[in-house]
Amino acid sequence: MSKLLIQGPSRLKGEIRVHGAKNSTLPLMAASLLCDSTCVLHNCPVLSDVKTSEKILQHLGCRTGRSGSDVLIDPRGVEQSDIPEHLMREMRSSIVFLGAILSRMGRAELSFPGGCELGPRPIDLHLSALRKMGVTIQEDHGCLKCSAPEGLKGVQIAFSFPSVGATENVLLAACCAGGTTTITNAAREPEICDLADFLNCCGAKISGAGDSTIVIEGVKSLHGCEHEVIPDRIAAATYLAATAATGGSIILNHVVPEHLAPVLPLFEESGCRFAIHEKEIYMSAPSRLGRIKNVRTMPYPGFPTDAQAPMMAMAAVANGTSIFVENIFESRYKHVGELLRLGANIKVEGRVAVVEGVGRLSGAPVEAADLRGGAALVVAGLAAQGETLVSGVRHIDRGYECLEENLCLLGAQVKRLPD
pLDDT in tens, the chain (419 residues): 799 999 999 999 999 999 999 999 999 999 999 999 999 999 999 999 999 999 999 999 999 999 999 999 999 999 999 999 989 888 777 899 999 999 999 999 998 775 444 344 468 899 999 999 999 999 887 789 999 999 999 999 999 999 999 999 999 999 999 999 999 999 999 999 999 999 999 999 999 999 999 999 999 999 999 999 999 999 999 999 999 999 999 999 999 999 999 999 999 999 999 999 999 999 999 999 999 999 999 999 999 999 999 999 999 999 999 999 999 987 789 999 999 999 999 999 999 999 999 999 999 999 999 999 999 999 999 999 999 999 999 999 999 999 999 999 999 999 999 87
- Binding-site residues from annotation for UDP-N-acetyl-alpha-D-glucosamine: 92, 121-125, 306, 328
* End-to-end Cα separation, the chain, in angstroms: 5
Residues 6+ apart with CB under 8 A from 18: 231, 232, 235, 236, 239, 252, 253, 254, 255
- Binding-site residues from annotation: 22-23, 92, 121-125, 306, 328
Distance, in Å, from the CA atom of 213 to the CA atom of 157, rounded to the nearest integer, reads 10
- Binding-site residues from annotation for phosphoenolpyruvate: 22-23
Distance, in Å, from the CA atom of 322 to the CA atom of 290, rounded to the nearest integer, reads 9
Distance, in Å, from the CA atom of 132 to the CA atom of 122, rounded to the nearest integer, reads 18
**Residue positions counted in the chain:** 419
Q: Which of left, alpha, beta for 46 (phi over 0: left; psi -120 to 50: alpha)?
A: beta
Q: How much is the pLDDT for 116?
A: 44
| 89, 49 Cβ separation under 8 angstroms | no
Distance, in Å, from the CA atom of 348 to the CA atom of 110, rounded to the nearest integer, reads 36
| 96, 76 Cβ separation under 8 angstroms | no
Q: How much is the pLDDT for 114?
A: 55
pTM over the 0.75 mark: yes
Q: How much is the pLDDT for 36?
A: 96
| 292, 322 Cβ separation under 8 angstroms | yes
Task: Tell me if the bond preceding 299 is cis, omega within 30° of 0.
Answer: no
Residue 130: exposure state from Cβ atoms within 10 A (0-12, 13-18, ≥19) = buried
| 338, 364 Cβ separation under 8 angstroms | no
Domain annotation for the chain: domains and CATH numbers: 3-19+231-417 (3.65.10.10), 22-228 (3.65.10.10)
> Would you name the residues annotated as active-site residues?
116
Spatial strand order of the sheet with 180-184 comes to: 156-158, 180-184, 213-217, 205-207
